[in-house]
Amino acid sequence: MADKKNDSGSDSESTEEPVVGNLNKFAVVPPGHTGRPKKGHLIFDACFESGNLGRVDYITEFEYDLFIRPDTCNPRFRVWFNFTVENVKADQRVIFNIVNFSKTKSLYREGMSPMVKSSSRRKWMRITPKLVYYYRCPDHRKNYVMSFAFSFDRESDVYQFAYCYPYSYTRLQNYLDNLEKRNMDYFRRELLCLSVQQRRLDLITITNPENLNPNNTQKTVFVTARVHPGETPSSYVCQGMIDFLVSNHPIAKTLRDHLVFKVVPMLNPDGVYLGNYRCSLMGFDLNRHWLEPSPWAHPTLYATKNVLKIELDFYIDIHAHSTMMNGFMYGNIYEDMARFEKQMLFPKLLCSNAEDFSLPNTSFNRDAVKAGTGRRYGHSEINSSLAGSLQALVAP
């Protein structure tokens, strides 16, 4: 049995309408209970930006089954979760079972644990790994279940749990707004287009302004990120790269003097806002539609592809892998041996400078099922440039 309560407290970053299908201040009470929820009857909420939780079943007063809401218009993908819990009692102990993951492989099997923070402790922390279990459950048709134990210690707090560190569309917009206010002559922000739900697709250009002269022949590096909404580490990597490129570091200045950097930091703003894992509003995996994007169904890809028609020297699409440890790259196989050998330079440089980058995990292929991805489009369509997919680390 369940009741609803309208107390505030979700970690919302936007005033837009909530996503249909997410729990909205949903109180889970014992069978037979009538009236308003009592203290300790947990209230779940995911009706906020990037939130995701579709259903909660009461098992006992100590245990709850949680169901991820599938991606909008695509029930195949159920991985990302992000929700709040309130109306707790001090020292109340619970077990949460997330029972409907669509993936069998997960870094939860390798020691990754969910994120948690609360209204009085705003810094995200990982739940102690020894309290997290990932296993096949006979009660759920032998599907994989991730269970974790948690103790609520402060009655007045609202607790938030997430698959990984969230990074919302609003956070990106605030970040870019602040960069714009600094009036740096080597930083330019443009609106490429609006998404299906009328969110911004931003293009960032970072370079010495002299390099923007049409007669200039400086090399161009193009970077995209966050085509898959649930791969939040890609946004942190992209923001870290932008932070460095606009900094006063001597190497950053040298890079700005000799290169033009163009960055699309969030290819799928609707999917990010909606709390999807992989798809856009309309249920498309955008990283399979680079070859023939539709201006109405995939407007962000369509607009980005038009920009990619300029002369490029290096294209990199930033992702975050959900089943492999360390950072690594996916690259292409080129008939031109010199071009193939040249693309090895960047992974080797990363490996020698970043201890969490794995050269052994880096691979190169021309798999037909990857034909619609950004890196494969870069390989086949963008002149003689190098193209690759950088896979960031989801969990330490």
| pLDDT digit string, tens, across residues 48-75 | 999 999 999 999 999 999 999 999 999 9
pTM for the structure as a whole: 0.91
pLDDT digits (tens, 9 = 90+) for 4-47: 344 333 334 444 455 569 999 999 999 999 999 999 999 999 99
Q: What pLDDT, on the 0 to 100 scale, is given for residue 339?
A: 74
Handedness of CA 228, 269, 226, 52 (dihedral sign): negative
Q: Is the pLDDT of residue 121 over 80?
A: yes
| Rounded-to-integer distance, Cα 373 and Cα 154, Å | 46
List residues bridging with 259 in a β-sheet. Answer: 219
Three-state secondary structure of the chain: CEEECCCCCCCCCCCCCCCCCCCCCEEECCCCCCCCCCCCCCEEECCCCCCECCEEEEEECCEEEEECCCECCECCCCCCCEEEEECCCCCEEEEEEECCCCCCCCHHHHCCCCEEEECCEEEEEECCHHHEEEEEEHHHCCEEEEEEEEEECCCCCCEEEECCCCCCHHHHHHHHHHHHHCCCCCEEEEEEEECCCCCEEEEEEECCHHHHCCCCCCEEEEEEECCCCCCCHHHHHHHHHHHHHCCCCHHHHHHHHHEEEEEECCCCHHHHHHCCCCCCCCCCCHHHCCCCCCCCCCHHHHHHHHHCCCCCCEEEEEEEECCCCCEEEEEECCCCHHHHHHCCHHHHHHHHHCCCECCCCCEEECCHHHCCCHHHHHHHHCCCCEEEEEEEECCC
Domains of the chain: 2-162 (2.60.40.3120), 169-393 (3.40.630.10)
Q: What is the mean pLDDT of residues 243-260?
A: 98
Q: Is the pLDDT of residue 226 over 90?
A: yes
Q: What pLDDT, on the 0 to 100 scale, is given for residue 379?
A: 64
pLDDT digits (tens, 9 = 90+) for 282-336: 999 999 999 999 999 999 999 999 998 887 888 899 999 988 888 888 887 777 7
pLDDT digits (tens, 9 = 90+) for 169-215: 999 999 999 999 999 999 999 999 999 999 999 999 999 999 998 88
pLDDT digits (tens, 9 = 90+) for 344-357: 888 899 899 988 89
Confidence bin at 227 (pLDDT 50/70/90): very high
